[in-house]
């Protein structure tokens, strides 16, 4: 099986090289690596082009935001499995993609996901909090649970059949996509009980009170569309889960 890894980037000169190296260092050989640049002006492309001989496709043009870039990357992808790795994230070790392919291939799963750790912006060995996931059960979605999006790998055929990221949700399209795939369409998924991704703190959806409020308003709309029931219960459990992550 071939796995397509998509990195969407805009002005991430300080972190993009770590991301690229973590992909190119994977032991799994059947990788198609696609970088979608939104028109960086800070020298990001200079770093990307250092590795152009090992990157399958580099696209640089203005887009409508990060999820539009992801959709564009999915459209270019030809792999059997698609993974999204943001430009300030890195794979936890060099065996991540081997684990992903094995998890999906062995039992003909449509998707898989694993654990994630938040790391310091400057010291990638310093863990801020741990996002420990678990085996999927539908009732967990009503209790604030959701897989870590950067660790969520999906077959390309699922995107082709069920659609991509909804740009009506500029800060929460990942929630919409995972709720839609797991709850509404009930795709077959499995849990890999290992840390797959290290994510730097300070992502776009967590910058400032305005973005936090807007993201949560989008999530409420998504919950309504997917008939997820009691919104207050969802957010209460979500808050508790985040507190537990810091405790871990």
Q: How far apart are CA 38 and CA 58, in angstroms?
A: 11
Calculate mean pLDDT across residues 189-214.
81
Tell me if 158 sits within 8 A of 181, measured CB to CB.
yes
Calculate mean pLDDT across residues 95-119.
96
Query: If 0-12 CB within 10 Å is exposed, 13-18 middle and 19+ buried, where does residue 30 land?
Result: middle
pLDDT digits (tens, 9 = 90+) for 177-195: 999 999 899 999 999 999 9
Question: Which structural domain, as residue segments, surrounds residue 227?
Answer: 3-247
In the chain, count of helices (H) and strands (E)? 9, 9
Q: How far apart are CA 230 and CA 228, in angstroms?
A: 7
User: C-alpha angle with apex 245: 241 to 248, nearest 5 degrees?
Assistant: 135
Using CA atoms of 38, 124, 131, 155 in order, give the dihedral in degrees to the nearest 10. 40
Beta-carbon count within 10 A of 182 CB: 23
Q: What is the pLDDT of residue 221?
A: 83
pLDDT digits (tens, 9 = 90+) for 31-45: 999 999 999 999 999
Q: What's the pTM value of the predicted model, to 2 decimals? A: 0.90
Q: What is the pLDDT of residue 228?
A: 64
Using CA atoms of 116, 152, 200, 118 in order, give the dihedral in degrees to the nearest 10. -20
Q: What is the pLDDT of residue 230?
A: 60
Calculate mean pLDDT across residues 61-89.
97
With residue 237 as reference, give the H or E element that holds it: helix 231-247
Number of domains in the chain: 1
User: What average pLDDT does the chain have?
Assistant: 90
Report which DSSP code applies to 93: S
Reported as a pLDDT band with limits 50, 70 and 90, residue 101 is very high
Residue 212 region by backbone torsions, left for phi larger than 0, else alpha for psi between -120 and 50, else beta:
alpha
Nearest alpha-carbon partner for 178 in 140, 209, 211: 140
Calculate mean pLDDT across residues 208-212.
76
Mapped onto helix, strand or coil, the DSSP state of residue 32 is strand
Please report, for the domain that includes residue 173, its CATH number: 3.90.550.10
Tell me if 88 sits within 8 A of 15, measured CB to CB.
yes
With residue 90 as reference, give the H or E element that holds it: strand 89-91
């Amino acid at each position: 099986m071939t796995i397509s890894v998509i990195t969407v980037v805009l002005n991430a000169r300080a972190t993009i090289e770590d991301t690229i190296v973590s992909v190119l260092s994977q032991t799994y050989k059947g990788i198609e690596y696609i970088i979608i640049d939104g028109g960086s002006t800070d020298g990001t492309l200079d770093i990307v082009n250092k590795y152009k001989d090992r990157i399958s496709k580099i696209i640089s043009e203005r887009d409508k935001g990060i999820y539009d870039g992801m959709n564009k990357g999915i459209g270019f992808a030809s792999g059997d499995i698609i993974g999204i790795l943001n430009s300030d994230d890195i794979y936890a070790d060099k065996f991540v993609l081997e684990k992903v392919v094995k998890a999906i291939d062995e039992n003909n799963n449509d998707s898989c996901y694993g654990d994630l750790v938040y790391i310091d912006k400057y010291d990638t060995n310093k863990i801020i909090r741990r996002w420990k996931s678990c085996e999927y059960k539908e009732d967990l979605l009503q209790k604030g649970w959701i897989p870590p999006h950067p660790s969520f790998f999906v077959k390309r055929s699922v995107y082709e059949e069920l659609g991509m990221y909804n740009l009506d949700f500029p800060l929460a399209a990942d929630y919409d996509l995972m709720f839609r795939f797991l709850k509404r369409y009930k795709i077959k998924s499995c849990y890999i009980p290992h840390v797959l991704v290290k994510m730097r703190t300070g992502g776009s959806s967590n910058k400032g009170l305005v973005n936090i409020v807007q993201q949560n308003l989008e999530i409420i709309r998504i919950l309504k569309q997917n008939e997820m029931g009691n919104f207050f219960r969802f957010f209460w459990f979500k808050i508790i889960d985040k507190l537990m992550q810091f405790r871990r």
